Amino acid sequence: MDMNNIQEILEYNKSFVENKEYEKYTAGKFPTKKMAIITCMDTRLVEMLPKAMNLKNGDVKIIKNAGAIISQPFGSVMRSVLVAIYELGADEVLVVGHTECGMASLHAETMIGHMVERGVSEEVMSTLENSGIRLNKWLRGFDSVEEGVKHTVEVIKKHPLLPPGVPVHGMVIDSYTGELDLVAEGYEQ
């Protein structure tokens, strides 16, 4: 393992703190725009998404995962959405997928092959399969980013713990230009 990345981060952080650069990011824990956003962990969106949406530190709660997908209604992503709503003051939810998402081309069989190549044993794979864990289903992506966003919007809207009247929207952001396309309007509920 190469420790250069960690060392570089720690060296930069020391300067960041000493020069009080954190002061320009001071914000409260409650989102001022009262919104939770679920988006992809894609590296192109780290700065692009907030800039394209005119978001500043403290404006929204941003929840990131692979593909902006809620694959399990009672998993950690949905729990984070519910915490944002019930405990942190969010009263809207926005799902933002993006063009050229890797989850659109994810093939479970290929990824499982990579796992085995990197040392996960066939015995582990067999044990998981025999325990009822269907890796082919769990690791699947989606055929269309728009459909992936709409599916996640529906999972949230139909969740039994979502309070009535919470708008859930869906958008797709262009990974290069930042242009947003509304694919699910949450105010029409």
Going by C-beta distance under 8 Å and a sequence separation of 6 or more, which residues neighbour residue 139? Answer: 106, 108, 111, 112
Nearest to 186 by CA among 92, 55, 73, 84: 92
Residues 151, 109: Cα–Cα separation, whole Å: 22
- Residue pair 173/179 in contact (Cβ under 8 Å)? The answer is yes
Nearest to 141 by CA among 73, 65, 66, 40: 66
- Residue pair 90/34 in contact (Cβ under 8 Å)? The answer is yes
What are residue 98's DSSP bridge partners? 173
Question: Residues comprising the binding site?
Answer: 40, 42, 98, 101
Question: Residues comprising the binding site for Zn(2+)?
Answer: 40, 42, 98, 101
Nearest to 52 by CA among 63, 67, 37: 37
